[in-house]
Amino acid sequence: MVVALLILPYVIAHGKFSPWQPSTIDLQVYVAAVKDMLAGKDIYVTTTPFWNLYFIYPPIAAVLMVPLAFGPYILWQVIWTGGLIWAQQSVLRRCGVPRGWQLGLLGVAVVLAVEPIRTTLGYGQVNTMLMALVIADLLPETPGERRRIPQGALIGLAAAIKLTPALFVIFAFLIGKKRVALTGIIAFGVFTAIGAILLFSETLKFWGGLSGGDTRTASPLYSGNQSLLGVFYRLGDSSRTTTLVGLGCAAVVALLSALVAAHWWQAGQQVFALGLVGLATCLASPLSWTHHYVWVLPMAVAVVRPGRARPGLASGALRQELPRWVRVLAGFWVLWICACLPLAVLPYGGGRERHFTFLQDVVVNLGPALGVLLLVCLAWRLVLESRARAPQAVAAA
């Protein structure tokens, strides 16, 4: 927490250390939207000073953020940072990192070295909190952990706030947690309905704009957009055909990730499975800025500490270890995400991406390409295993 507060002014441009004024520009968006909402104004018209940014989340997100309208902004910067750090450490604990000095030291390293986590802190974003909600729903901190909230409700809440976690509802169904999936759907519906009741016109505007392709933010072309659609825009054009093909491929990747991850969940590699689905939500979303890739955290734990056994497994022998090639490929993807080279070494913005050299195109698109390569290789491995088992099943019959 102390380290995060110390580096916060230096993460995003125009921050100051003395007096302490971090440039938490996304938190500023949330505060401005909530204040305008309470004043009876349209939250989707609100823009922030200097950065001119819009509130782009569903209405329920603004409703849940009402406390931000009260108290000094600097206090909320500290509280929000603390919440993000708590969420990060909660994810690490549930992924199997032991409490104590190891957890503390790793937490500091994550803040300093993992770009999506660091910039989520810098922007005052919600990404790490949403990840923590999903992880808390699917990974108990201890076997037999008592639950005060129905399992699946937190996934539904996360999806109501930012939509993309809805992929975990499909994943829950595929791993046999049908009640969890149903609870997630109900929770999503309830929270979305609350937003619609309280902010009806804004709800119509949000869903109408979304269905029409209005993201109210930067173009998918931007280098910082590390989604599959961004790759299609940068290597192709911005036509409707490109958009539809890109979104279609993204949907296939999302479904493929859920199917592959379900296998690894059943094989005892829960942390790897969740990291895979989480990163796939970033690939599949039309816009995934580099700081959205906080799901690199459980993936990194799975690669470095392979195999947190599923609670309730009778024996570790039942757990299928990650093959070395999977750890190497996934590890390279993790390192690439953490380094964030597309924004570190390339020019960006203003359509510069249209004029990249071949090498620059490789750098800006390598992250999504690695993710797709990993998923395709994992899926092909499952196909080969299925074919190998088929003759044995016939012989046994």
**pLDDT tens, position by position, 334-371:** 999 999 999 999 998 888 999 999 999 999 999 999 99
The answer to whether residue 229 sits within a structural domain is yes
Q: What is the pLDDT of residue 212?
A: 73
Q: What is the pLDDT of residue 395?
A: 55
Cβ–Cβ under 8 Å, residues 265 and 382:
no
Closest CA to 96 of 331, 298, 328: 298
The answer to whether residue 104 sits within a structural domain is no
Closest CA to 223 of 58, 340, 82: 340
The answer to whether residue 148 sits within a structural domain is no
Q: What is the pLDDT of residue 264?
A: 96
Q: What is the pLDDT of residue 139?
A: 94
Cβ–Cβ under 8 Å, residues 120 and 128:
yes
Closest CA to 281 of 195, 383, 186, 371: 371
Closest CA to 43 of 70, 215, 35, 193: 35
The answer to whether residue 241 sits within a structural domain is yes
The answer to whether residue 373 sits within a structural domain is yes
Range of the structural domain that residue 374 is part of: 218-397
The answer to whether residue 64 sits within a structural domain is no
Q: What is the pLDDT of residue 392?
A: 60
The identity of residue 364, as a single letter, is V
Question: In total, how many domains does the chain have?
Answer: 1
Token pair listed for 40? 């009876």
Cα gap 307→268, rounded to integer Å: 7
Cα gap 143→114, rounded to integer Å: 29
Q: What is the pLDDT of residue 13?
A: 87
Q: What is the pLDDT of residue 311?
A: 46
Percent of the chain whose predicted confidence (pLDDT) is above 70: 94
Q: What is the pLDDT of residue 387?
A: 78
The answer to whether residue 354 sits within a structural domain is yes
Number of alpha carbons in the 13 Å side-chain half-sphere of residue 4: 30
- pLDDT tens-place string over residues 108-133: 999 999 999 999 999 999 999 999 99
Cβ–Cβ under 8 Å, residues 246 and 233:
yes
Q: Which residues of the chain have a pLDDT value below 50? A: 309-317
The answer to whether residue 37 sits within a structural domain is no
